[in-house]
């Protein structure tokens, strides 16, 4: 992805349009508890744990996450 804005401006734009949630203890625990068949990337696990904790679908193109059926997905 190419962004033609300074990083601070880009992040401010994102934050003005989306709800950016901090990593909670609950989300981290849910991410750590995902099955071994789920991708091992800690960021994928934290993001997925957050989606589960918030009871919202995860927007992802990652076929490994979608195929895991560990979380509701959109894409």
Domain residue ranges in the chain: 24-74
Which residues make Cβ contacts (< 8 Å) with residue 43, sequence separation at least 6? none
**Residue-level pLDDT at 4:** 86
Task: Say if CB 38 and CB 70 are below 8 A apart.
Answer: yes
Instruction: Read off the pLDDT band of 3 (50, 70, 90).
Output: confident
**Residue-level pLDDT at 19:** 86
Q: Percent of the chain, pLDDT > 70?
A: 99
- Per the model's pLDDT, the better-predicted residue between 19 and 68 turns out to be 68
| Tens digit of each residue's pLDDT (9 = 90 or more) over 11-38 | 999 899 988 889 999 999 999 999 999 9
């Amino acid at each position: 992805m190419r962004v033609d804005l300074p990083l601070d401006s880009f992040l401010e734009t994102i934050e003005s349009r989306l709800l950016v949630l901090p990593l909670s203890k609950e989300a981290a625990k849910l991410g750590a508890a995902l099955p071994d068949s789920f991708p091992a990337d800690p960021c994928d696990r934290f993001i997925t744990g957050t989606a589960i904790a918030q009871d919202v679908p995860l927007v992802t193109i990652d076929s490994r996450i979608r195929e895991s059926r560990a979380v509701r997905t959109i894409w």
